[in-house]
Amino acid sequence: CVEKRGNYGLKLGDLVIISQSAHIYEDCWEEARRIVDEQRGSFISSEVTSPDPRGNFVIEISNGRISAEHISQDDNTIRTYTGTSAEDVYMKIAAEQLVSSIGHAIYLGKELEKAEIALNYPSLFRYVQDKHLQRL
């Protein structure tokens, strides 16, 4: 513990180290790969992974349409937006300025496009939010 080594009147806090080199030795490569694979998700920008304060969307295909259910941060349905294309749905959401971050907008666009592909090719694909398109 810092206090046992000497009382210098310093408070514990962040430590920043700037180094000109870093090296992982060959005998540690497998362990390094394992650590990176385990931690990969934590390196994604917080803008992408943080909940949008304006709410999130549950996207699905029903009755021949794409639906995006707008959900508040306390899990209540605010409104459902529907359309026959990703653009139909996204333009309604954008018109009401329901997305507050670029990361969330990109994610939403990607999910709506996947839903549109599955809607247009129902014998080939099945849409499930946050999954790759499932080939039938």
Higher-confidence position of 85 and 18: 85
Q: Is residue 23 part of a domain?
A: no
Residue 14 lies in a domain: no
List, for residues 10-46, the tens digit of each pLDDT value.
676 777 767 666 678 889 889 988 888 887 766 555 5
Q: Model-level pTM?
A: 0.66
The mean pLDDT of the chain is 86
With respect to residue 10, please indicate whether it lies within any of the assigned structural domains: no
Domain count, the chain: 1
Q: What pLDDT does 46 receive?
A: 54
Look at residue 17 and tell me if it is in a domain: no
Of all residues in the chain, the percent with pLDDT exceeding 90 is 59
Residue from 21, 16, 109 nearest 57 by CA: 109
Q: Smallest Cα–Cα separation from 74: which of 54, 58, 104?
A: 54
3-state secondary structure (DSSP) of residue 125: strand
Specify if 80 maps to a domain. Answer: yes
The DSSP code sequence of 31-98 is HHHHHHHHHGGGGS-HHHHSPPTT-EEEEEEETTEEEEEEE-TTS-EEEEEEESSHHHHHHHHHHTT-
**110 belongs to a structural domain:** yes
Q: Which domain holds residue 101?
A: 49-135
Note whether residue 86 is domain-resident. yes
Task: Give the DSSP H or E segment for 135.
Answer: strand 134-135
